[in-house]
Structures are given as structure tokens and as C-alpha cells.
Structure 1
Amino acid sequence: MLSLNITAPGGRGRLSIQNPPKLSSCNSTIPTSILVTRSKDDAFLSAPHGKCSKNLSFSVKSQYLTPQEQRQQQQRFSSHESPTPSQPGQLPPRVYVGYTIYKGKAALAVEPRPPEFSPLDSGAFKLSKEGFVLLQFAPAAGVRQYDWSRKQLFSLSVAEIGNIISLGTRDSCEFFHDPNKGRSDEGKVRKVLKVEPLPDGSGHFFNLSVQNKLINVDENIYIPITKAEFAVLVSSFNFILPYLLGWHTFANSTRPEDASRLNNANSTVDYEWSR
């Protein structure tokens, strides 16, 4: 940090400037960080506006601040120049988003769920579970009222999302889920989601059928989705897919030196363009 003291001839009028900008041969801009000391009878240093004064002369003495003085200056101005940093180890706040469609007989809430990562011995992370989109179907309990305590859930995988995105106006698809597949309760819970075109071609039906023998539930909830609402779903699915695959974390963590090092480490891989 540099400190300049400017003194007029005869010792009258002294300017003290902290960290001055570069001075040109004719610099009419006065820094905001400036200290003026003068006696009552001293004449203030001045120069005609827009041009240099040939009669103005001064001497410049440079003085470098000690490290302790630099720290004091930084502490004094840090609260005004920079925002308060986050606390070490503090995670950013969790953000919840979604898109909800309300109709006469049911409501459909669509929410993304992030992927999961597992740490490796090298200190890196590897995708262990892809993200998904959670569909929540709630039957109507009255006019503009919905019973979310009776909601039924269906998780769309990345491949299933791709299937819905590729649907045309007259196309349909069907997904079957057994949450207990591979367990002792396999087959006791069945979930079937059908996405079918409306007869007049104005949109699609989302029909969820749930049979749960464990709690004696047999529920069938359907909701019509207009073209506009379906377009919003497709646009949202297209946007969120790379995040569900975890590709954003790879892109954010990639640096030029890391890319070069990884490419050299994987030099045995037979890339198509290297043939």
C-alpha cells in the first residue's frame, strides 16, 4: 500500500493520499481518499478546470506502510468494500421447486430430486444414484380442495423422463413400478402410470393406478393435462435431465490443468478421433 504526501512550496498546504491512482501529466481527478491539512492563512492548491496550471508545483514523498498498518487499513475498509463471507463449512440453503397442476378431480405436483454421489479413496466423487422426478397425485376433496394425505407417489427415472419427452400428440406410454422388487414383499405393491392422448388431441391423460396389499389400498387417480401444461413439463424435463445425471457437477469441477492431467492418465483409451 502506497502513501503520498504532497506539500506546496514554502510548506503551506499538505495533501496526504492513500493508494493514489496513476498520475498523468494533467490529472484533474482528485481521489476520494484524501486528507487535506492547511493552516488558516494558507492558500489552497488549485488548478484551472480542464487544463494544467504551469504555476503549480509540488513535491512528492512516497512512504510504504508497514504490514501492521496495511492490516489495519484492510480491516477498516473491508466492511464497506466486500460482503460478509460465509462461515467455513456452511452449506448453501436448500431450495425447493416444483410445478403443480390443479384440475377438478385431482392435482399433480412435479418435483425434481437430486442425484447422489459416493466418495472415492482418491478424494474424488462418483455418481452412485441418478436423480429423478417425483410425481405426487392428490385426489380432490371438494371445490379447489385436495386431500394430500391420500396422495400417491410415482418416481420417474431418467429413461422414463426421456420417454415422456419424446411423446407426440397421439403417442402414449406406460410404466410399471414395484417398490419392493427383489425383497420379500415383492408383488404386494403395484404402481402403473399411463400417459395417453386425449380423444380430441388437446393434451394427455396422466392416470396412476396403485394397488397396495400391505395396507389394503386400491387407488386410481387421473388428471387431464393440456397442451400448454404438457409443454411446460417437457421443457422442465429437458432442462433438468443433465442435473439428474450429475453432469453439472462434472462441468463445475473441471479445470484446464485437471483435464490435461486426466487425458494423459487415460492415454491408453482408444478415442475414435485418434485413430
Structure 2
Amino acid sequence: MVIHSVCAGRGGGVISIPQPNKLSAFNSAIPTSILFPRKKNSSLFPCPLQYHSKNVSLCVKNQYLTPQDQNHEQQKFTPYDSRFPSQPGQFPPRVYVGYSVYKGKAALTVEPRPPEFSPLDSGAFKLSKEGYVLLQFAPASGVRQYDWSRKQVFSLSVTEIGHIISLGASNSCEFFHDPNKGKSDEGRVRKVLKVEPLPDSSGHFFNLSVQNKITNVDEKIYIPITKAEFAVLVSSFNFVLPYLLGWHTFANSIKPEDANRLNSTNPRSSDFEWTR
């Protein structure tokens, strides 16, 4: 990749124009009126630019960029939008987030996973799979060291998340998962997650038990979660829950001009309470 630098003489500014191999939005033609505005006080140039027709000089500098530098330049020009997509299928750059708790005997990471949508013949989208929150437990292998090769995972559904959110200081809950339920290997993998209050009411225990007869694994990992850490989890769960249900895509797709049309074509529009 080559960068062309256009310089205006007499203390003028410098504009760097990336020139990739193919034409893109980042290397479109720049009108001469931008480089040389008719008015000296044009707002397009914040720096002072003094020139006369006989004293203006241009210089073009070519700079070859390595692939690593090219990636860096591309990042500077690529627009970034961290908002959730207004429509299923319109995805922003992938962002990885999570919350981790490290204790003496184990570590726990909590990461959300997005819902899935299926296209319909009408061009609309329908939720095909709810999102979930992935819990990853790793046993300690030393001081501040954890063996992630032995990690065990547990996926919390939206209903299970609701159970955890509603827990009081002295309440507990238990979830059972069989990843192979309905398959030929049903019953050979058993996962039980227990969330129980600590004896001194200072938080909760997250206790995961995994029995896998296929890989001959029998693992129990537990980690204490303080009140403050549990509060962070509950707050995060409350925030992300509507997104796991895909409700944000519906809310972002609502357009005032389409509301009446959609209601009139919706066969279930007569089911509204106020129309009965």
C-alpha cells in the first residue's frame, strides 16, 4: 500500500491520502476546492494558509507501507459503530466482553452469547435461538495460575439467568444439564450447577459438578462469589437479558411510518386486548 502526501507550500497543511490497490470510499477523488479554498478564512483549513497564484507549490510523497502498517492505516480510516444492529444480518464489528473472578482454588469467566435469527420468505427475520451466558470454570494450578485446559463450561439460559437474578442473600438454586439429551449418548454427560449462600452470608458459592462418561471425567469446581461480585453479575444479567431475547432488533427496526402498515397486515392484530 502507498500513501500519497499532498503538501501546500507557504506553511500550508498536509493531507495524506491512502491509495489501496482498488478504489474504495477511502481514496475517492478530492475536489481542488478543498485543497485550495477560494477564501483565505475557509473553515476547511484550521491552520493558517497564505498563498498567491505564483507562490503555491505542491509536492507528492510516496510512502510504502508494510502489511502491518497497512492494517494500522486501515483501522484509522475504517468507521466503527459499536451499536447493536438495527436488523438481523446487519452486524457491527465483533466485540468480546466478559467478567472474570479469580480466587485461590478456581477462576470463573462470564461471557454473553448473542441470539440467532432465521430469514423468512417475506424478507423479515425470526428469532430461532435465544442467546445465553457462558460460564467457564478453571481449576487453579498454582498461585494466581489456572489450568484452562481443564476448564468446564455451563450455559445459562434466559430462564436460568432469571433464577439467579431473583436470588436473595439466603436463597439457592440448582440447574441440571445433559448436553446430549435426546441423542444416543443421553445420560452419559451430567452437569449440575449449584448457587448457594456462603455460611457467613457474605456472598454465594458457584459449585459446578461435571460427570462425563465419554471422556472419563469427574470434575468438581467451586468458587466463592462475594456480594459485590454477585451484584456485578446481577446488574450485567439485567442489562443483557433483553438482548439475549433479541428484543433490541425489534425495537431498533420500528419505524413510525411503517407501524400502521405492519399492524394492518399482521394477521394477529385482532388479538389485541383493546380491539375485542
Matches of 1:32 and 1:220 in 2, distance apart? 66
Instruction: Provide the residue aligned with 1:222 in structure 2.
Output: 222
TM-score w.r.t. structure 1 length?
Answer: 0.68
Report matched runs for 1:203-214 at 5 Å: 203-214=203-214
Instruction: Provide the residue aligned with 1:97 in structure 2.
Output: 97
Instruction: Provide the residue aligned with 2:191 in structure 1.
Output: 191
Matches of 1:166 and 1:19 in 2, distance apart? 66
Instruction: Provide the residue aligned with 2:57 in structure 1.
Output: none
Residue identity opposite 2:259 in structure 1: A
Question: Structure 1 residues 111, 141: closer, same or farther in 2, change over 3 A?
Answer: same
Residue identity opposite 2:273 in structure 1: E
Instruction: Provide the residue aligned with 1:133 in structure 2.
Output: 133
Report matched runs for 1:1-275 at 5 Å: 92-266=92-266, 268-275=269-276
CA deviations 1:132-151 (Å, max 9, x no partner) are 00000000000000000000
Matches of 1:226 and 1:138 in 2, distance apart? 18
Residue identity opposite 2:126 in structure 1: K
Residue 209 (structure 1) shift: 0.3
Matches of 1:187 and 1:209 in 2, distance apart? 14
Matches of 2:109 and 2:247 in 1, distance apart? 25
Question: Structure 1 residues 37, 187: closer, same or farther in 2, change over 3 A?
Answer: closer
Matches of 2:202 and 2:78 in 1, distance apart? 51
Question: Structure 1 residues 193, 125: closer, same or farther in 2, change over 3 A?
Answer: same
3-state DSSP of counterpart to 2:239:
helix
3-state DSSP of counterpart to 2:271:
coil
CA deviations 1:106-131 (Å, max 9, x no partner) are 00000000000001011111000000
TM-score w.r.t. structure 2 length?
Answer: 0.68
Residue 172 (structure 1) shift: 0.2
Residue identity opposite 1:257 in structure 2: E
Matches of 2:205 and 2:141 in 1, distance apart? 20
Residue 252 (structure 1) shift: 1.3
Flag structure 2 segments of 5+ consecutive residues without an equivalent: 1-36, 45-49, 54-75, 80-88
Which structure's CA Rg is the greater one? 1
Instruction: Provide the residue aligned with 2:24 in structure 1.
Output: none
Matches of 2:95 and 2:266 in 1, distance apart? 37
- RMSD between superposed Cα atoms in Å: 2.8
Matches of 2:200 and 2:264 in 1, distance apart? 58
Question: Structure 1 residues 219, 259: closer, same or farther in 2, change over 3 A?
Answer: same
Matches of 1:36 and 1:217 in 2, distance apart? 78
Residue identity opposite 1:108 in structure 2: L
Residue 254 (structure 1) shift: 1.3
Instruction: For CA contacts below 8 A with separation 6 or more, give which structure has more relative contact order.
Output: 2
3-state DSSP of counterpart to 2:184:
coil
3-state DSSP of counterpart to 2:238:
helix
3-state DSSP of counterpart to 1:269:
helix
Question: Structure 1 residues 214, 273: closer, same or farther in 2, change over 3 A?
Answer: same
